[in-house]
């Protein structure tokens, strides 16, 4: 007879499958993106537009990168909302319309480009390094978001197999391209799902931090405060019910430990 797999080992096995599925889905999207950009011209042609920052008063021209074609290939993916996130990471909030894009993703891009990927600036250029940092931040955040989704689904669904299927479908969903682009969806998913996981696990402090960070990624993250309001309502309800039950028990039981039947009849 086949031996049953322990729940801990099964959970680790499922998380490993989710981890591999998340990475595989990112690689698949990268390949498809390269193929489509090779075959078709992008509709949004704003990627090459990169004027100097408003606070940049230097008159000297920047040093050209060693591999400009590679840097240009990376920058070609900076389109639509990615233009704003990269611009904010590079120059800060310059225009009024930039305030629609919250600062968590630009901050992460700026930190990564100034530390881990800083040596690549002279190879591919500053803006390409910013774009590369954005891709790394968003794709890594997606992988961790998928793992947290599995953990949360196990708690909510109480079925590890269903949680595994839900997490794999999340990795290969049709809108998954938004989680690999330089958009705020990946960070928002990471801190929202992670915050809910810690909230259901009883780690309220970490949950508060995660859900607060989700509000720095997207404006609708402020709605995540409703989970704590809902939790507080449940705690108040349970406290009132338990207090009422204790009061009723006190009335039904006499001071000497015997049941007061006259009170019960009333």
pLDDT of 75-98, one tens digit each?
988 989 999 999 999 999 998 889
| CA dihedral of 72, 74, 78, 84, whole degrees rounded to 10 | -90
* 62-66, 201-205, 221-225: least confident range: 62-66
How is the chain split into domains, by residue range? 9-50+65-222
If you average pLDDT over residues 21-38, what whole number do you get? 92
Asked if pLDDT for residue 245 goes beyond 90, the answer is no
Asked if pLDDT for residue 46 goes beyond 50, the answer is yes
Q: What is the pLDDT of residue 240?
A: 80
Q: What is the pLDDT of residue 233?
A: 87
Residue 259 is given by DSSP the state B
Asked if pLDDT for residue 6 goes beyond 60, the answer is no
* Cα torsion 55, 60, 61, 67: sign: negative
Encode pLDDT of 157-201 as tens digits.
999 999 999 999 999 998 889 999 999 999 999 999 999 999 999
Q: Of 106, 118, 177, 188, nearest to 148 (Cα)?
A: 188
């Amino acid at each position: 007879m086949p031996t049953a797999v322990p729940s801990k080992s099964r959970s680790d096995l499922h998380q490993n499958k989710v981890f591999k599925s998340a990475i595989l889905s990112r690689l698949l999207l990268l390949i498809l993106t390269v193929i489509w950009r090779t075959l078709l011209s992008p509709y949004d042609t704003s990627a090459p537009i990169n004027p100097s920052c408003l606070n940049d008063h230097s008159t000297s021209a920047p040093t050209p990168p060693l591999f400009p074609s590679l840097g240009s290939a990376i920058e070609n993916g900076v389109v639509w909302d990615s233009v704003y996130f990269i611009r904010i990471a590079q120059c800060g909030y310059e225009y009024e319309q930039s305030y629609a894009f919250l600062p968590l993703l630009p901050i992460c891009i700026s930190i990564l480009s100034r530390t881990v990927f800083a040596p690549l600036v002279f190879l591919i250029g500053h803006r390409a390094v910013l774009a590369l940092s954005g891709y790394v931040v968003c794709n890594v955040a997606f992988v961790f978001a998928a793992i947290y989704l599995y953990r949360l689904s196990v708690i909510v669904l109480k079925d590890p197999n269903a949680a595994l299927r839900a997490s794999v479908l999340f990795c290969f969903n049709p809108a998954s391209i938004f989680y690999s682009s330089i958009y705020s969806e990946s960070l928002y998913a990471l801190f929202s799902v992670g915050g809910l996981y810690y909230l259901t696990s009883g780690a309220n402090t970490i949950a508060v931090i995660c859900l607060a960070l989700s509000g720095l990624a997207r404006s609708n993250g402020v709605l995540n405060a409703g989970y704590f309001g809902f939790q507080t309502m449940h705690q108040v309800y349970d406290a009132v019910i338990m207090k009422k039950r204790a009061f009723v028990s006190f009335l039904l039981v006499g001071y000497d430990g015997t049941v007061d039947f006259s009170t019960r009849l009333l």
